[in-house]
A = this chain, B = another copy of it.
Amino acid sequence: MPMTMYDASVPVFIRGLTNLDALLTKGEEYASANGLDPAELVGARLFPDMLPLSGQIQSASDTAKFCPARLTGTQGPSFADTETTFAELHTRIANTLDYLKTFEPAQFEGSETREVVLKSRRGERQFIGQAYLLGFALPNFFFHVTTAYDILRHKGVPIGKMDYLGG
């Protein structure tokens, strides 16, 4: 069976978000065991104008939900980006996972060449599906999962590469 656009998107995001959820749990446990305010960890960042841990989770969630929506020409749920606690971040990930699990491989047929238009403050960017997935969505997703890992690690949480890569 050749690899499909579905294979390289939905299950990859599900796996990455599942690992991210476990990393968050290790962060929570570390805060609890070391008398660290959980809010400090949720708000931690690597540089003053970078997104904090909460923003990295929100962005990982957004990348994971926008990608299959765009590739299948459907509309995903809207999340408000108001999470400020570990519990709320776990819920955000759980809601994203629930949404991702609604996709069927057949919905991605032909998505290699589907036109994808990204709208942002900077204007519009046009891609075709495969270039969007491989050159934008996957790098962007792993950027936010890794930066969440890096923030936790920078704050002393005892996690390792195998926690990031998962089972």
Residues of A with Cβ closer than 8 Å to B?
1-5, 7-8, 11-12, 15-16, 46-47, 50, 112, 130, 134-136, 138-140, 142-143, 145-147, 149-150, 153-154, 156, 161, 164-166
Output the least CB separation between A57 and chain B (Å): 15
Indicate how many identical chains form the complex.
Answer: 2
Q: Given the interface contacts A139-B164, A164-B139, does A153 sit within 8 Å of B46 by beta carbon?
A: yes
A-side binding surface: helix, strand, loop or mixed? helix
Please state if B165 and A140 are interface contacts (CB–CB under 8 Å).
yes
- What residues on B are CB-neighbors of A134 within 8 Å? 3, 7-8, 11-12
Please state if A143 and B140 are interface contacts (CB–CB under 8 Å).
no
